[in-house]
Structure 1
Amino acid sequence: MTPQDGHSHKSGFVSFVGRPNAGKSTLTNALVGTKVVITSDKPQTTRTVVRGIVHREDAQLILVDTPGLHRPRTLLGERLNDLVKTTLGEVDVVAVCLPANEKPGPGDRFIVNEMAKVKRTTKVAIATKTDLVTSEQLGEHLLAIQRLGEETGTEWAEIVPVSAKSGDQVALLQDLLVGLLPEGPQLYPDGDLSDAPEEILVAELIREAALEGLRDELPHSIAVVVEEMGLREDRPEDKPLLDIHANLYVERDSQKGIIIGPKGSRLKTIGTTSRKQIEALLGTPVYLDLHVKIAKDWQRDPRQLRKLGF
């Protein structure tokens, strides 16, 4: 590695872990400075390990967003947990997100214990959502995080309070994470924000739009598969149109009705919302064709899980 102007270049992988809805995705988006990971106030929105990439003169920080670690209830849950555990052993830094507005509980302890098993990796604790608490509450939370480290035999390289929403301390967190990376070359070309295939990012944006405003029973039951995606032929070069055909899979008839909505109104809204997001992400006008299908009890069926990309 040749240092630039006497300064060495760093590169490496950082994985955010935490209970579902601990603020991991919002933080990834804040650090990258654009929307690469879907966020939702529904737990367990993230299913794929989408990496956000932070490009700097002195470093490249690759953020691995994992599904929230949790005690599995279904085969899907077990697959997600396996995915998280393999990720933890392959990154340079694991950062656990502990929301400042909630006391660290059994779920957090479960995660920190899992982290403690991965010996080689540097461990960081991030107090997220600091905009929701007073400075006194934040002080207590930081002490609780320190205690959690002591009780689980985890040595925190850093404990950092941040608010991804207000941007408070996000730049500081970026500097601290870069400081913990090994020296190394740039791993991705400039301008790349994520190495997830575009189909996966598109499917995630459609899924996010489908989750918007839904009642609690649906989130885990929706999977989105992009069946076809390509530029429409016979279009002038200055007027491209990207055709996307995607299926939303649910487990039961009643869920299909909820997604489609009265006279198709809900599906139309999902289409409009996600199309705008996809166009913003890919920078191309999009024609989006959505269909809702039933894959009975897909979360418990290994064959269907494979088909839906898990």
Structure 2
Amino acid sequence: MTDTPDAPGAQPHRCGYVAIVGRPNVGKSTLLNRLLGQKLSITSKRPQTTRHRILGVLTRPDAQLLFFDSPGYQTRSGGALNRVLNRTSQQVAQDADVVVLVCDAAGWTAADEQLAKMLPTDRPVLLAVNKVDAVADKARLLPLVQRATNVRTFDEVVPISARTGRQVELLVDLCAARLPEGERMFEEDELTDRGERFQAAELIREKMFRLLGDELPYASTVVIEQYEELPRLRRIHATVLVERDAQKAIVLGAGGERIKRIATEARQDLERLVGVKVYLEVFVKVRSGWADSEQSLRSYGYE
């Protein structure tokens, strides 16, 4: 990027925020990772693996797109944690210049409809129909699109596969064209506004989601107690918070085997991320009711 005026006939540079929203497990985080060409958002098959606003920066010669990943919108709103995550999802959409609503090609649901009705009407909203690689008969997508467009008007409807990359570049082009004119907000080599400390907690949580499966306590989170950054080493002490002793036993596993595996796999991912050796200790503590209070949730970095 230069500070010189655009050459005659040149397209103006664009920069702005693009919100990626949708119900749980439609592939929002997989899409963000595909857009950036590397892993930034953690993924699993469990609902609401993403619990925070994650910013991913995609810099092109003609535009800088600031993608917001968001928690999956839940139609059930019981509990402080769900309320906070739903508000985060809605706020991301309100703060963006362009909104991408992601739905699953397997079908349009009541949850999709509810969220679609809540999205802003004063800015572009695109519908990305994800996982089309899993649909053999593409004619099956037509009723889905019809149901979706009966709910609201979309500026574009784009069938994509975040897993394979199918038509993802087209989605980027359509978003970029709708961003306001402006200079870059981030340097060309910057990927996110989140630091290593945040990413360490997220990677530990991802391993919990993947390794514990259906046994994972929903009301669990990861707190980084100590993060020491040395030239050739990261020394990290993390705590997994759960609400009951029985949940602690699940996370620890027999003889502590589960928490050891969680820590090992998270450490390996962290070493690939930061490019140096990582010393990681992960403890499990019981903190009853930590997810029942919005004030408590804010103290742990939510919303």
Give 2:134's match in structure 1, choosing from 122, 132, 135.
132
How far off is 1:179 after superposition? 1.5
Question: 1:48: which partner in 2?
Answer: 52
Q: 1:2 to 1:259 in 2, by over 3 A?
A: same
Give 2:110's match in structure 1, choosing from 106, 130, 135.
106
Contact 1:75 1:300 in 2 (8 A): yes
Whole-angstrom CA distance in 2 between matches of 1:65 and 1:273:
24
Give 2:186's match in structure 1, choosing from 188, 211, 222.
188
1:61 aligns with 2:65: yes
Counting only pairs closer than 5 Å after superposition, residues 1-310 of structure 1 correspond to structure 2 as 4-5=6-7, 6-71=10-75, 72-101=77-106, 103-115=107-119, 118-134=120-136, 136=137, 138-150=138-150, 152=151, 154-232=152-230, 237=231, 240-310=232-302
Whole-angstrom CA distance in 2 between matches of 1:4 and 1:203:
43
Q: 1:303 to 1:155 in 2, by over 3 A?
A: closer
Contact 2:216 2:251 in 1 (8 A): no
How far off is 1:298 after superposition? 2.0
SS at match of 2:212: coil
Contact 2:217 2:247 in 1 (8 A): no
SS at match of 1:271: helix
- The percent of aligned pairs where both chains have the same amino acid is 38
Whole-angstrom CA distance in 2 between matches of 1:111 and 1:302:
22
Whole-angstrom CA distance in 2 between matches of 1:275 and 1:165:
25
Whole-angstrom CA distance in 1 between matches of 2:273 and 2:47:
24
SS at match of 1:78: helix
SS at match of 2:58: strand
Moved more, 3-12 or 26-35: 3-12
Contact 2:263 2:280 in 1 (8 A): yes
How far off is 1:3 after superposition? 5.0
Count of paired positions: 297
Unaligned runs of 5+ in 2: none
Amino acid at match of 1:260: L
Unaligned runs of 5+ in 1: none
Amino acid at match of 2:25: N
Contact 1:3 1:9 in 2 (8 A): no
Whole-angstrom CA distance in 2 between matches of 1:43 and 1:250:
18
Amino acid at match of 2:205: R
Q: Where in structure 1 do 4 or more consecutive aligned residues deviate above 4 Å?
A: 1-5
Contact 1:45 1:219 in 2 (8 A): no
SS at match of 1:224: strand
Moved more, 297-306 or 88-97: 297-306
| RMSD (Å) for aligned C-alpha atoms | 1.7
User: When the two structures are superposed, what TM-score results if normalisation uses the length of structure 2?
Assistant: 0.93
